Structure formats: structure tokens, C-alpha cells
Amino acid sequence: MDILSFRRSETTEESDDGVGKIPRRLKTPRDDKQHRSNNNQAMAKITQVYYSSHFKNSLSKYHSYQPIIQKKLALFLKDPLTPSLRTHKLTGKLDGYYSFSINYQLRIIFEWIDHQTVGLIDIGTHTIYR
């Protein structure tokens, strides 16, 4: 099974500029400082995922991790704030992006496009934060 078959919608797009940009996000679905229990609205499932070309290229380096990546992506699509994913907002030059953990080594950087749409930007070890 190909990892990119996790698309929730057939309208997944990728830009043709070679950089792998995805549509700009509107707003993040929650304030990172706001605790989940204080949130009056439940987080909706992610219904649409965009894969950047950079994400697709980086993903091919981690073929041996494909089963765990599939499992964590499925969990992320069901509930992006599951504690085991350790989803968190990034700062510095990656301000506006978020990250979640695949395992102790691997992370996925993503951005919210709207409340039910995300763009997967990169996958890799902590070096992707540089």
C-alpha cells in the first residue's frame, strides 16, 4: 500500500512551481495555548490533505518506516490532537507551521489550510526544523 493513498479526498493538489507550495492557510483551528478541554468546539476530522512535492520526495527516504507512518497518519486524520502524536506549534523561521511525531526520531511538518484541511510539508528527523 502506498503511503500517499491516505488522501481523504481526490481533490488533492500540488503546485507546479517545483517548490511544493500548497494553498495558503486561512486560520489555525485552535490557539496553541488553548487547552483542548477548554475548547468549546470539538476538533473535526481532517477531510482533505495536500502533499507538497518536498514531502513526497522526503517520504521516499523512509520506506522502512512506512507501516508506522501509515498508522500515525491515520490517527492524525482522525484526531490531530491525539496526545500520542505530540502535535505542537513551531516557532522561529517555521512560525505558522505545526509538527507531530511519528516515532522518537521522525516528525511531520504540516500547516492548517482551514479547519478540515492540512498540507503536509516535510517528513524527517529533527534536522527538518533547520
Q: Give the residue with greater pLDDT, 14 vs 73.
A: 73
Question: Over pLDDT 90: what percentage of the chain?
Answer: 60
What pLDDT shows up at residue 16?
42
User: What would the mean pLDDT of 98-124 be, rounded to a whole number?
Assistant: 95
Ordered by where they begin, the domains of the chain are 50-130 (3.30.2310.20)
Residue 43, pLDDT score: 58
Res. 31: pLDDT tops 90: no
Q: Which residue has the higher pLDDT, 49 or 130?
A: 49
The span from the CA of 4 to the CA of 73, in Å, is 10
Q: Indicate if the pLDDT at residue 2 is higher than 80.
A: no
| Residue 7 to residue 11: CA distance in whole angstroms | 9
- Whole-model pTM above 0.85? no
**C-alpha to C-alpha distance for 112 and 109, rounded to whole angstroms:** 10
Place of cell 495536500: 50
pLDDT at 123: 95
Confidence of residue 85 (pLDDT cuts 50, 70, 90): very high
Reported confidence tier of residue 130, pLDDT bands at 50, 70, 90:
confident
Lowest mean pLDDT among 12-21, 23-32, 65-74: 12-21
Overall residue count recorded for the chain in this entry: 130
Using the predicted structure, report yes or no on whether residue 91 has a pLDDT greater than 90: yes
